[in-house]
């Protein structure tokens, strides 16, 4: 029995693994659109049971959380956090093949959710199956928590965590959902995630749209919203809400060391996103500090009035926006939403209604934690060189709910995976190497 045999088993089952992944990818499990959750749960139940896991489905106010466990009586437990929901497929006409009909081209699998994060679910499961085929059972206890609302901000994961506290708290480490290689093909390791506050805004001023010849009489909902958004953040990206920066934790010396050493591949980023110059002309350490250490305020969507051809002259009575704020350690979304509401009220923006919101805090794991060391060493050995260490990623995840469990994010995506965008994809090779990494990690850990 050797890991080499496990690797051979993984290679042998490659086509099987791709088939299982494609079956999962065909299920349009979009939390935002409230589709596909029951089908995804049913499919997960089937494949985890076949792999020898015990599973249970934890109901919440929203989509249920799928949990699976393989207890071998070890003192150590490794947890995987994943999600079976995916981003909406819009704009669907920019896809080269239908988002929920997986297609293989140029050594890549294309489908919505393949990189975020159905690819990792199957990669992790298949790695464990291959390991067990050779060794009979894993050397440690394995658990999976696969939720169904990550892409809408995990509004009900806290309910799950409160209901099933021990399921999480006795884990010695957690492999987080996402990750992959950078533009040069180097594997990356993420030690933390930002928090988030997601706001759904609605402005309604008067009873109905008005011919714009009468605009003097009424409040234009679109203009009210424009003014309200313009005072939240200035053009230097400083958020103007009083107290917004009050509770932010000072970065540690260890954080600053990682940030300084971190090689931000600016040219690669520019090419990838079609950026001529980074925002505010920043570069080098200033740009890295902005990225890793500052909270953000971002308009995700905005709409009001007439959007068709030609020139309708109308004063809209309703306007809408979706805004996300990425939070850094120390910031609490509930505290911030109260500050934002107060700021708008004090500036006479009572028209602006926060119709819905969700969010959670940031979280991170120390690079010196034994679990972090194990993950980094494993990747170094499988890949043959050092991974890139991200002290914190710009994206968010409900990692704070796993308090006390060191969480590290790795995965099988890459720089052009197009997560959240058309033509989402992963390389088949990365999918396979990912399995080997997981197999080696459970062996070592």
Binding positions for its own copies, 413-442, rule CB under 8 A = 419-421
> Least Å distance between CB 221 and its own copies?
9
Q: Does 305 bind its own copies (CB under 8 A)?
A: yes
Question: Binders of its own copies among 353-392, rule CB under 8 A?
Answer: 358
Q: Name 349's Cβ contacts closer than 8 Å, sequence gap at least 6.
A: 224, 227, 228
DSSP string, 125-183: HHHHHHHHHHHSS-SSEEEEEEES-GGGT-TTHHHHHHHTHHHHHT-SEEEES--BB-T
> Least Å distance between CB 223 and its own copies?
5
Interface residue with its own copies, options 9, 120, 150, 324 (CB under 8 A): 324
CA 210, CA 441: separation in Å to the nearest integer?
64
Question: Binders of its own copies among 75-114, rule CB under 8 A?
Answer: 87-88, 90
Interface residue with its own copies, options 335, 395, 416, 444 (CB under 8 A): 395
* Residue count, binding to its own copies (CB under 8 A): 85
> Least Å distance between CB 342 and its own copies?
18
CB 305 within 8 A of CB 209: yes
Q: Name 34's Cβ contacts closer than 8 Å, sequence gap at least 6.
A: none
> Least Å distance between CB 217 and its own copies?
5
Q: Does 404 bind its own copies (CB under 8 A)?
A: no
| The two three-digit tokens of residue 411, written as one number | 């995965």
Candidate ranges 18-26, 247-255, 294-302, 424-432; the one touching its own copies (CB under 8 A): 294-302
> Least Å distance between CB 144 and its own copies?
24
Closest Cα partner for 355 from 390, 318, 405?
318
DSSP string, 189-256: EE-EEEEEEEEEEEEE-SSS-EEGGGGGGS--HHHHHHHHHHHHB-TTS-B-STTTTTTPPPPPHHHH
CB 248 within 8 A of CB 328: yes
Residue with smaller CB distance to its own copies, 161 or 393: 393
Q: Does 72 bind its own copies (CB under 8 A)?
A: no
> Least Å distance between CB 418 and its own copies?
9
Candidate ranges 52-60, 70-78, 166-174, 283-291; the one touching its own copies (CB under 8 A): 283-291
CA 293, CA 299: separation in Å to the nearest integer?
20
> Least Å distance between CB 316 and its own copies?
7
CA 100, CA 159: separation in Å to the nearest integer?
30
Residue with smaller CB distance to its own copies, 18 or 241: 241
Q: Does 164 bind its own copies (CB under 8 A)?
A: no
Question: Binders of its own copies among 38-67, rule CB under 8 A?
Answer: none
Residue with smaller CB distance to its own copies, 78 or 228: 228
| CB count in 10 Å sphere of residue 93 | 6
CA 126, CA 435: separation in Å to the nearest integer?
7
CA 195, CA 276: separation in Å to the nearest integer?
28
Interface residue with its own copies, options 2, 12, 19, 32 (CB under 8 A): 32
Candidate ranges 62-70, 238-246, 297-305, 334-342; the one touching its own copies (CB under 8 A): 297-305
Residue with smaller CB distance to its own copies, 104 or 287: 287
Interface residue with its own copies, options 3, 51, 269, 389 (CB under 8 A): 269
> Least Å distance between CB 129 and its own copies?
31
Distance of CA 381 to the CA centre of its chain: 27
Residue with smaller CB distance to its own copies, 173 or 333: 333
DSSP string, 10-50: HHHTHHHHHHHHHHHHTS--BTTTTBSHHHHHHHHHHHHHH
Residue with smaller CB distance to its own copies, 28 or 305: 305
CA 346, CA 117: separation in Å to the nearest integer?
42
Which residue's entry shows tokens 């058309």? 422
CB 401 within 8 A of CB 179: no
Candidate ranges 47-55, 95-103, 266-274, 332-340; the one touching its own copies (CB under 8 A): 266-274
Q: Annotate each residue in 211-250 with x if it binds its own copies (CB under 8 A) or - if it does not, as one string.
A: xxxxxxxxxx-xx-xxx-xx--x-x-x-------------
> Least Å distance between CB 444 and its own copies?
30
Residue with smaller CB distance to its own copies, 89 or 172: 89
Q: Does 156 bind its own copies (CB under 8 A)?
A: no
Q: Does 314 bind its own copies (CB under 8 A)?
A: yes
Question: Binders of its own copies among 337-356, rule CB under 8 A?
Answer: none
Q: What's the longest Cα–Cα distance across the chain? A: 82
């Amino acid at each position: 029995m050797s890991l080499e045999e496990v690797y051979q088993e993984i290679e042998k089952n490659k086509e099987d693994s791709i088939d299982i992944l494609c079956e999962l990818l065909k299920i349009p499990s979009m939390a935002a659109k409230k589709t596909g959750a029951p089908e995804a749960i049913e499919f997960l139940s089937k494949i985890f049971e076949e792999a020898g896991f015990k599973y249970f489905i934890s109901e919440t106010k929203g989509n249920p959380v799928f949990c699976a466990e393989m207890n071998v009586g070890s003192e150590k437990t490794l947890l995987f956090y994943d999600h079976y929901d995916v981003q909406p497929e819009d704009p669907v006409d920019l896809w080269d093949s239908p988002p929920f009909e997986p297609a293989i081209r140029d050594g890549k699998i294309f489908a919505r959710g393949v990189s975020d994060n159905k690819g990792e679910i199957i990669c992790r499961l298949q790695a464990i199956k291959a390991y067990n085929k050779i060794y009979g059972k894993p050397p440690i206890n394995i658990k999976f928590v696969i939720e169904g609302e990550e892409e809408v901000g995990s509004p009900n994961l806290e309910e799950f965590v409160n209901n099933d506290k021990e399921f999480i708290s006795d884990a010695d480490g957690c492999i987080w959902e996402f990750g992959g290689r950078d533009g040069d093909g180097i594997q990356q390791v993420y030690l933390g995630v930002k928090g988030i506050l997601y706001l759904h805004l609605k402005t309604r001023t008067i009873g109905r749209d008005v011919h714009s010849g009468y605009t003097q009489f009424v409040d234009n909902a679109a203009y009210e919203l424009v003014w309200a958004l313009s005072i939240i953040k200035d053009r230097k990206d400083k958020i103007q809400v009083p107290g917004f920066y009050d509770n932010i934790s000072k970065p540690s010396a260890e954080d600053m060391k990682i940030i300084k050493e971190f090689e931000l591949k600016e040219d690669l980023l520019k090419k990838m996103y079609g950026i001529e110059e980074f925002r505010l002309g920043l570069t080098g350490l200033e740009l890295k500090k902005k990225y890793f250490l500052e909270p953000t305020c971002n308009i995700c969507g905005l709409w009001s009035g007439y959007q068709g051809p030609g020139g309708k002259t109308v004063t809209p009575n309703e306007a809408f926006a979706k805004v996300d704020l990425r939070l850094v350690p120390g910031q609490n979304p509930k505290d911030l939403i109260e500050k934002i509401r107060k700021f708008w009220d004090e500036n006479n923006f009572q028209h602006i209604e926060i119709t819905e919101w969700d969010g959670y805090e940031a979280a991170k794991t120390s690079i010196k934690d034994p679990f972090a060391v194990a993950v980094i060493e494993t990747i170094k050995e499988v890949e043959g060189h050092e991974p890139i260490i991200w002290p914190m990623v710009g994206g968010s995840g409900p990692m704070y709910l796993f308090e006390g469990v060191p969480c590290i994010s790795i995965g099988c995506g890459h720089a052009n995976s197009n997560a959240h965008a058309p033509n989402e994809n992963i390389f088949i090779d990365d999918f396979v190497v990912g399995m080997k990494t997981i197999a080696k990690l459970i062996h070592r850990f």
